[in-house]
Structure 1
């Protein structure tokens, strides 16, 4: 690796933060207007949530192929092409008049977004690495929280006054500005050696990423943690609008300000993991996430908001540590594939978990859904704890 250039690292951090902001704003753009879409197209909450599950499913399916492709064509080129395509589709989305077509466009948009989501961690590990990786990954995850919060908040507020079309368009414009800055600022990679697009070495990297038992802990955290997270945000609008709360849509959108907690905790958790160890910080993040879920059981709007802040902060702390763990653990030849597998688990968990969690909410209400999500978090924590028993010659920072 070349000598560390602080100015270049700052530029990388800013560019990836903006890219993450655009990516998450586009990925979850329909979420704050799901109740409106359900009303317009005569849908139940679970069917309306397909607009979220479709994009995360496309991302999960495409993550490994695009992460592998980036090894051959270059990480920067893959990320830029992906975000540009996703932005074009985001600008087209408000003008689609039929729900099945909306779902199809969202599926393709998720495939495009995979080109950034699956490659960013590998790019950061290659270009920064070392002791700065935890902090750098924390800032990248902070960008995802800013995008998730800003996009949802903007879409919800504008959507309340201009309809779902206006809400989606406003988010696409915000993401467009970030996309342009991302393309301009992102430096070309210096430390990644492109591999020929041949099956044997690329599949060898995939086998290495799958064959390391330590990596299964962050994969499990990604799948189950994200399943719980996306479930809460998918159904939150429906719960707030229903009795006894009856919160207006524009006011309900303010709940997405809870994402600010994730912006703070993801950065702090990355630094804490560099200092005190990944597993300890990861387990603490999962415990805080479960605490937030329990707080949201109350039928009190202020308590729900506090619980949402705690839940969001805990989840993004755990996600920041888990994603940084993958980049640090994987070998250089398998880093792209390991990052892609993490994204596959993360967004596969979002897609499947969002459907299962939404069904649980429809059948058992918020309390039954909470029990299910707490079980998921407990399994994720158990997976991380088990890694402590792996011999030190195999495990990293256990």
Structure 2
């Protein structure tokens, strides 16, 4: 009996809506502090680098937790962990809104980082188990779009409401929306039919992770993910500081809406992914990194329109490059592909944490030129690693063929 969820059915619509909402909520909460980093810096009288820890510590906690939560779900089930994650995230956002000081805010954000892992680590596994193979692509695409739209909406809601009222009201708004979304998620998501609980076994998990790390091509791909995300978060963490300052002196609301540039990534990830299928991953990944390099350099120009254009080109290149690199991981891994993808995401989010915070040191000492200099260094290293990946895979192909 075929009891997989099929396209066109009510269960398919419910599952897609639930996971889209879940992704929306997760990434809206994850990135909610990014547009208000200048505000946090001013309110708590801390440096930009210290303010960026409200995002960096959260993403590194998420990165570490994702390696563990996926294994826990093999024993405890998919839906219960995802539902708990979403409710806990919403409650923590409401608590963060009332944090009496910055230290407490950071502690709550670290706990939130751990809890965040419950959805991204499991959602794809749920889809792979419950959706019929012919409909999986459409379901996965909608889930991924929830990631980007959630991240975008969280930044815009936070930036706009904090400008009109305060950053605390902005967080309360996101927390209430997230709580309602979590309740809807619980009632909408169909229960798992194909999940088979397994015993918790961390030894095979560790052995598998170590084997992936011994593969030089995979390790280089993980490095590329680290550097791409490190560059991207650094750009968006500190562009707000520059645009709020003279000579631009833009409002918090307008700076929040700058994140609409993210929408170019929705197009570039699919378009450049298609180009990679036709012209090879190596050439198109290099092209994407080149676009990031050129866009970052263009953002050094003082004219606001050219600066925004540079950021748009940079963003276009990032999403395309990330799509190619993450897809290359799945092709390169010979076993435990899900674990290889988790490792890529681990390095990706650690890059976000380290790049995002180190960029603050460069901003404080050297201004926007310092921020762009660290981004360009990251991208040069990513280019070298991409060349190494191509050399390794070409040698392996020649040896096998």
Question: Does 2:390 align with 1:374?
Answer: no
**CA deviation after TM superposition for structure 1 residue 374, in Å:** 1.5
**Paired position in structure 1 for 2:72:** 69
Aligned length: 394
**CA deviation after TM superposition for structure 1 residue 89, in Å:** 0.8
Q: Deviations over 1:77-127 (max 9, x none)?
A: 433332222122112221122111001000100111122233445555566
Kept after mapping to 1: 8 A contact 2:276/2:284: yes
Which has the larger displacement, 244-253 or 267-276? 267-276
Q: Alpha carbons of 1:137 and 1:364: their partners in 2 closer, same or farther (altered >3 Å)?
A: farther
**Paired position in structure 1 for 2:353:** 351
Question: Does 2:13 align with 1:29?
Answer: no
Question: Does 2:274 align with 1:293?
Answer: no
Match of 2:165 among 145, 162, 167: 162
Kept after mapping to 1: 8 A contact 2:93/2:175: yes
**CA deviation after TM superposition for structure 1 residue 281, in Å:** 3.7
Kept after mapping to 1: 8 A contact 2:289/2:321: yes
Question: Does 2:212 align with 1:209?
Answer: yes
**CA deviation after TM superposition for structure 1 residue 394, in Å:** 5.8
Q: Deviations over 1:148-183 (max 9, x none)?
A: 211111111110011111111222234344434444
**1-structure distance, mates of 2:172, 2:315:** 26
Match of 1:117 among 117, 120, 127: 120
RMSD: 3.1
**TM-score scaled to structure 1, two decimals?**
0.87
Q: Alpha carbons of 1:190 and 1:92: their partners in 2 closer, same or farther (altered >3 Å)?
A: same
**CA deviation after TM superposition for structure 1 residue 195, in Å:** 3.4
**1-structure distance, mates of 2:139, 2:385:** 25
Q: Alpha carbons of 1:264 and 1:18: their partners in 2 closer, same or farther (altered >3 Å)?
A: farther
Kept after mapping to 1: 8 A contact 2:290/2:317: yes
**1-structure distance, mates of 2:270, 2:185:** 20
Gaps of 5+ in 2: none
**TM-score scaled to structure 2, two decimals?**
0.86
**CA deviation after TM superposition for structure 1 residue 3, in Å:** 7.7
**2-structure distance, mates of 1:223, 1:150:** 24
Gaps of 5+ in 1: none
3-state SS, counterpart of residue 200 of structure 2: coil
**2-structure distance, mates of 1:393, 1:74:** 42
**1-structure distance, mates of 2:81, 2:302:** 46
**2-structure distance, mates of 1:108, 1:96:** 13
Kept after mapping to 1: 8 A contact 2:70/2:121: yes
**1-structure distance, mates of 2:381, 2:12:** 36
3-state SS, counterpart of residue 6 of structure 1: coil
